[in-house]
Structure 1
Amino acid sequence: MKKPLLAVKDIVQITGITSRTLHYYDRIDLFKPTHLTEKGYRLYDRSSLEKLQTILFLKELDFSLKEIADILKLTRQEQKQLLKKQSQTLLSKKQRLETIMVALEEYVSGKDISHLEIFNSSSVVPLKEQYANEARFIYGETEAYKVFNETLDKLSPDEKEERFQSMEEVFKQIASCVDPHPSSDEVQRLIEEWKKNLMQFMPCDTELLACIADTYKFDARFNNYFNQYGNENLADFLHSAIMHHISQS
C-alpha cells in the first residue's frame, strides 16, 4: 500500500508546530518537503516525520538551527558523542538556574543583595569581589585599607565569618533599640562596640569613621542592606549616631 503524503496542515496537526515554522525550515534547507504540487503546495511523506521530530528534539536540547543542520549530517555514533557533551552543558545550566532561583527567592524574601550567592559561575565578578574591588579602587592608597587587607589575609574563612556576624549583630541591636535617639547612652554604647569591631580590621580615626558614616547614608546599597533589619531609616540613624560619637571624641 502506498504511503500517503502529508500536507502542511497535517504536519501542523501532528506535531503542533506552525506552518510558518515549516516554511522557514524549508527556506533554510533544514527540512524540505518530499514533493511539491503543481500549485506549489508542500507535501511530506510519513518517513520524513522522523527527521522533523529529531529536529524538534535537538531544538529542545538548546541547539541552534545551524547546529542542528550540522548534527543531522553526522553519523548516529557521532551524534551520540556530541549529545553526551550537550548533556553536561545542560546540567551546568540546570545548576546555574537553580542557583539563580535560590537567589531570587532570598532577594524577594528580603535578603540583601550583598549576601546573595550570584555571579559565582558567570563572567560577571561575584558581588563580594565587586565590593572588594570597589573598596580597593576608592581606598586602596590609604594606610587603613592596607592594614584591613593584611588583617583579612591572616584570618581563616571561619574567623572572617565570625567577625562579620559580630558586626551584623551590632546592627540588629541598634535597629531594635528601645530609645531610638542617636545620642542615647544605649545607642552610643552600641556604636562604640561597632567601632571596636572595625578596629579589629584596621585603625579608625575620626576622618575614616565619618567617611564610613557618609557611605552608610548616601550609598543606596547600604540603605538596602540595612533595610533587612526591619528599620527603613537605619542608614540615616547610623550616620547620625556615628557623627555624634565623633563629636564627643
Structure 2
Amino acid sequence: MRTVNEISKITSISVRTLHYYDKIGLLKPTAYTEAGYRLYDDKALETLQQILFFREFDMPLKDIKATMERPDFDREAVLNSQRAILEVKKSRLERLISSIDGILKGENEMDFEVFSRDEIKELYDTMVSNMESGQVDAVVRKYGSLEKYEEQFIEKAGSGRAQKNLQKVTEWYGGRKEALDAAKNPAGSGVMDAYQKRIDKIYRKIAAKAGTDVNTFEVKELIGEYDFVSKQLYQMKDVTELLLEMADAFKKSGPLKESMEEQYGPGAPDYIAEAVKAFYGR
C-alpha cells in the first residue's frame, strides 16, 4: 500500500488532484489508515495510469469516468487504440522534424518537375494496363484512340499545374519513389471496394456522434481507425496531410458536401472534418 504522498511522487500528480479524483469517484483509495489517510494498492496505481493515458488525449474527466465504468470496458483494447493514436502523432512529429532539418540544411527547394516524361509515360502504361475493357472502350470513344489519349495525358501531366498536384501527392506518400511504387502497384478493385466500405462505416459512426465533443476518446478512436484504413487504401505511411485536405473539402459548400450530407446527415461533413482536425491537433 502507498500513501497519497507516495503516489504523488511516483506519478507527479498533485495530492490535491488525487483528492479531487476521489471526490468525483474517478479514483477511490483502496483503503484508509486508522487516522483516515488514503492508501492505494498496485491495482489503483494501474487505474491511475489508465486515467493519465486518457488525459493525454485531453479527454474530460466525466468521459473518462463513464468510459472506465462501462461493463464492456476492455483495458487492453483501449490501450491498443491509444497506442495507435500516439503512433500517428509520433509519425507526424517525425515528419515535421525532418522538414525542419531540410530547411536548416537548405534542402527544401521546391521542384515542380516532380516526374520526368519517362516516368509519366510509365505511369500512363501502368494505368492503362489496370483498366477494365469497358474503361478502355470509353477512353477510345472519347479520344479516338489510346495513342491520342496517351499524347494528351502526357502533355497535361507535364504542365505546371499538374506538376504542382504531383508534388502534393509526392509529399503525401513521403517521396517520389513511394508515390511511383503506389501508382505502379494499385490495389485490386475488390480490395479498394472493401476499404471504401469500411471507411463508409467509419463515417457513419462518426456522424452518429455529431453534436458531441470531437475530443472524446470514442471519436478519436474512430478517427484513428479512419487513419489506419486510409493508409491501407492509399498505400501511404502517413495520411495526415491527405485527410486534412479532405477535411477542408468536406467543409466547403458544393457537390461533395451535399453528397455527404445526403449520405450521413445534415452537419455530418463539418463534424467529420472537425474530428479529423482535432485528432491531428490542427
TM-score of the two chains, using structure 1 as the length reference: 0.36
Rg bigger for which structure?
1
Larger RCO of the pair (alpha carbons < 8 Å, separation 6+): 2
TM-score of the two chains, using structure 2 as the length reference: 0.32
